Amino acid sequence: MSRWKMLETWDRDLPGLADEQLVDRLCLAQQYERSASRSPGRNPKAR
């Protein structure tokens, strides 16, 4: 299963998760958000 597949089904899995798993999910979501916003675009030298 893909790492990001968990983010698509987070609401279904939420009631059965332990505290550590909730923290892991939050960290994974933050990492996904950071990596998505860091995209250089078409020309990284344009900045």
Q: Tens of pLDDT along 9-45?
A: 767 777 877 888 888 888 888 888 777 666 666 766 7
How far apart are the C-alpha atoms of 21 and 47, rounded to whole Å? 39
Query: Where exactly are the structural domains of the chain?
Result: 1-33
Residue with tokens 């979501």: 29
Q: Which run of H or of E encompasses 20?
A: helix 19-37
Give residue 37's pLDDT: 64
1: pLDDT confidence band, cut at 50, 70 and 90?
A: very low
Q: Are 3 and 28 in contact (CB under 8 A)?
A: yes
pTM of whole model > 0.85?
Answer: no
**29 within 8 A of 7, measured Cβ to Cβ:** yes
Whole-angstrom Cα distance, residue 38 to residue 30? 12
